[in-house]
Structure 1
């Protein structure tokens, strides 16, 4: 064995020894260096809410501080790219939602490949997408909105957290299926998007239930329907777009945890274990349920397979509906 090979063997043995502890705790990571969890959107959106609910417990299980950093921009691509380029040591992670399987096919610049530049850690949760309107708009039900939007093509505006986000795509696919046109108004994050809806600057918005639940309850926005085929137990009275006749429409969101490519398998496994334990914690589970999330845990391998399936699905949907996003 030459000198280079011996060094590699010794290094591999050291890494394995560091990660060999069977239980989570202080032996998992170096105490002096916090884990950075990137949220690629502004505060207030689903990614952000989920991160802040799960990170404290996950950090406790790892014996490690987890620092959340919001890095919005480019439909989530800016913050996600930061993690793709980070050191693959488990100390930089990203909360990635459905948009990572949509963006490659929207005609926008995506500076990474999700299947090449990341190690899947696991699915976290899903959340229904809901169509909400300003309470003073003339349509009070989903059926009324469908009819109104068809009768007034190009006269309705809808907001989203940004170009290429799942909320944006939800609006574009809806307009195609409902044979109408709507003006898309992108914002830098969910908070600003909903703020202008409440102020009456925008007529409707596609948003995660988690991000608008409190505004629905206080009457600041009106919930019209669930942008999918499955009703949510959090608001069982809300009809789905399937109930209204759009049988092939589904814009529900999922969220996952990703690490940079080439992160050691032992580190990925340790992160997955902490993530699953955090999601199963009764206090965390209750908090997520109250905020509109449905737990969706998986192994790293299951998430990898799921991402592959979603890439194929959205490539087909986007091509069939001729959807492109301005750079």
Structure 2
């Protein structure tokens, strides 16, 4: 998997612009293994191993693989006022979370929550102390929110809904997780409006007016007990509004993970039939997949589903 932290992206951009860099970008495994060793797109300057220089083929590779990503993140730094230098050890997931905080800071400030709660929402694959264990990340989040610290206790009112609007929406996707909303450009370009209400916090959906229900609504989630259980709650809410919603299904070859995998907390109830889920909310094919997951104690992560590809195919059919 390609993972290139911001400080290394800056080094690659220096190679793109000026043909050389003194930044220690070979400390990144992808750059060292693929770009330097395998593809030989960068090399040490003759007689000086403190300087890396690019080969003639590097420019085209960088434009295809990294340029748009660099420009997207660089624009964020310029607009947000965060310090932008090679000492910032932000991972790609850190940057996506910071961008989400920046563009949604007013809504986040309205329902300001504890550090652990925000950490769990922004970094669902990490433990709740992820922000706490990265002081520079915490400092950046607080700066973006224009506050000095997180509150010690969660507020009682969690009635909120995040929406990524687009000018001419054709489809609404209700997301169980925040990931899609962190970098929504591709969804906007495909006329997809994204909604997120925060996992089990489904009550805001009760107050959605009828004028917002004219478009097809899809539900996008992990295929585990928690994700499908919340889907059933949402299905019931929209049933009262006489609006059907569509569960986005994983492909047949989707990777199945053991429920005991690190950072995954949702477990099937083996004592209850169909793990206690309401079978009436699922098609026969969906029931077969879920029964198989329950019997094997497995789950399917939403990242296994190419959401845009799925929706484009669904609209054509």
Q: Please, what TM-score do these two structures have when normalized by structure 1?
A: 0.25
Higher helix proportion (structure 1 or 2): 2
Higher strand proportion (structure 1 or 2): 1
Q: Please, what TM-score do these two structures have when normalized by structure 2?
A: 0.26
Which structure has the larger Rg? Answer: 2
